[in-house]
Chain A
């Protein structure tokens, strides 16, 4: 390596050291013809590599859909359209018209795991046992913990023949296919070969995905290589190597990109973007199904029980000012989904910046300058999808104060705020807060609405943190869930969502646009409107 020669430079003089330092910056990528892409992730550790990744969606993005496949994959090929589903390890699937709890999946044939073993119904069942059957030898509590909550309707599964399996859901659930995108399949043969040791499997995993794991140094680096035999020839990676490096500090990521240590960073700090652009870096972004809200407590004593307060808060926030704060890297949110989405509907309540109207609404409810609304909100200092939580919350605090809503923040670590979500507003860890500020993805109707708004999802079952309990919401959600016709389902969801907006059920603030900064030599990347991204078409030029 060139580096060896540079060592001598160190001893000689400072001038030479200086030259070689700058040389190294330029020289690193050109060292060989190998196409190496180095990505700095925001996670503080390499996500779990055994199949079901941890670290949220970033884990799925980099060590889920790279090394593994689901029965149904996300189609991440378009930058313009909302990502849809596409067949993965299943070629087709159908729901039983008689009993719509029964789904039959026809598995893809001719697919092999990275170790060469065959993908078939036995492998599928083995993987299901891995996360659902606590008595099976391959049962892995960590993987189970990472995935089971994402597939709430799973009730049973069985092999039909060599290449088909059957699922049963607990009740008719039109959203079941979305849930299956989170179930990834590891190789039973590799696990056997490693004496059934999941820790060892983490170091030498075997899936069916477009990438293979070449090496893993916990907390430091995961190196992926292409799987030339990937079943979808169009998605055989064009890179020679993909290096994933955890770098939780945003200033470290900035410096790593500018100094040429990495080629691509996730979530650059908005303030550093002008500097990166001035040095020729490319900034990509694209709105994706993400919402940054305040979820309200509906418990006795919460000021949010008054619809005027809810509406006033929504009218008080200057979303355009906030957009400026984030250097344009957000889309103002006027509902859980964006207005162009089929689920948005036609609400009467128009969410905008109108402090006058907000003050009027508050005075209708008897609030005023001498009698402000006092509200406590749980916020985090950072976290997956939380964008710039402190800056944004302080901005909102200022906005709301102008109309007479006094916010008091309970600042938690992300690792404390997130578990509180499932515990509810009345749990002691909520410290009597009236709202929680957790951003989330609305990839499917369950994730977007059901888990927050259906009364059956109150803690500890789901994420109905504020104990929302409205029969009309429940009715619409149940109806949508059992409606298997896509268009009809969409129109029910639109009705539901319009009601939610008219009700000002939450305070909607922003949608993230998933900014990424990369060196101009990174080419071919299409940023999908999704939490997940396809790394297979990416190339690294000179």
Chain B
């Protein structure tokens, strides 16, 4: 038992190293000259040389990597090539906004997914089931950046109910659980929620149908057990898996929100990445990918450990 936990935790170390290596090498995959983003193109050549040495681009690559890792461990991901600010603070302030969005989307997706999935599982084969299943397939097949545009057209352009861009009237550092901010959250969160909704619906539906098909459920029912107890039984069995699926989905949302954030100008990691790509701000690109990937690794670990805890069968696998 403890052996599994230990192994799983230790396994994170090589993965983390490999992920870091991948992120570092991104800069060297890039064909552009990182200097382009640092100095204005009309700067004289002696200024270029001076800035180059100030930023450390002139050092040998292995040295750059060693430096990068040792500083990353201390929470220093370097300076943005475009604006000279610390990458760490840029990434974490954006991460906060992305978390707000991703958690809101997860909650919507999870609630809807569980509701739909349970309904469909209970009434398997009915028109309701077919409708829900169709809905779920739609949820995982829809290009969410497009859904975002549709929602903007309906609710912002035509009806003009809610705003379509930004995170709120003030800066996101003032973000508060207030309508003034929440109204900005609605459209992006709903847009982002369709994928987890689809995935959770499919999972829950399959599991509910599976459990209900078991003979012992029939037996329980035959014994005259209240439908409520049957339902509780179903919930108890489905919940851990549904939560695990949702946990992973949260990770996917963090990484996958770039398109939705772009559509809604939501000031999160996605928008940061998007800007970094077009400004060829590689330190920001690197830092954001690294932080998101490590977040994902950690989330995977937590989900695995939690699942193992809840379902000891896993540890044997």
Contacts and interface: CB of A to CB of B under 8 A. Distances in A.
Chains A and B touch (C-beta atoms under 8 A apart): yes
Interface of A: 1, 3-4, 6-7, 9-10, 17-18, 20-22, 24-25, 28, 44-45, 48, 54, 134, 141-142, 144-146, 148-150, 199, 202, 215, 217-221, 245, 247-249, 252, 255-256, 258-259, 261, 413-416, 418-419, 421-422, 460, 462-463
A145 B171 CA distance: 29
A459 to B, nearest CB: 10
B171 A217 contact: yes
Contacts of B85: 199, 202, 218
B211 to A, nearest CB: 35
A220 B171 contact: yes
Contacts of B216: none
Contacts of B171: 215, 217, 220-221
B291 interface: no
A407 B156 CA distance: 39
Given A150-B42, A259-B160, A259-B163, A145 B179 contact: no
Contact of A218 (B47, B90, B265): B90
Interface string B81-96: 0111110001001100
B241 interface: no
B161 A18 contact: yes
21 contacts: A4-B178, A18-B161, A24-B179, A24-B180, A24-B183, A28-B169, A134-B50, A141-B54, A144-B47, A146-B43, A149-B40, A149-B43, A150-B42, A199-B86, A218-B90, A219-B94, A219-B272, A259-B163, A415-B279, A416-B280, A462-B42
Nearest to A275: B157
Given A10-B182, A217-B172, A247-B265, A421 B41 contact: yes
Contacts of B179: 3, 6-7, 9-10, 17, 20, 24
> What class of interface size applies to chain B in its complex with A?
35 or more
Nearest to A253: B165
A20 B163 CA distance: 13
A6 B166 contact: no
Contact of B41 (A215, A256, A418): A418
A220 B267 contact: yes
B260 to A, nearest CB: 14
A419 B41 contact: yes
B145 to A, nearest CB: 13
B113 to A, nearest CB: 22
B124 interface: no
Interface stretch (B31-39, B132-140, B196-204, B243-251): B31-39
B156 A219 contact: no
User: Which of B33, B84, B156 has the most CB atoms of chain A within a 10 A radius of its CB?
Assistant: B84
Nearest to A149: B42
B37 A148 contact: no
B173 interface: yes
Interface in B166-190: 166, 169-173, 177-180, 182-183
User: Can you list the 3 inter-chain pairs with the closest CB atoms, starting with the nearest?
Assistant: A149-B42, A3-B180, A6-B179
A422 B275 contact: no
Contacts of A422: 41-42
A199 B165 CA distance: 29
B44 interface: yes
Contacts of A145: 38-40, 43, 47-48, 51
A256 B267 contact: no
B257 interface: no
A530 B166 CA distance: 30
A48 B37 contact: no
B106 interface: no
A148 B279 contact: no
Given A134-B50, A219-B272, A259-B163, A415 B278 contact: yes
A21 B178 contact: no
A21 B40 CA distance: 43
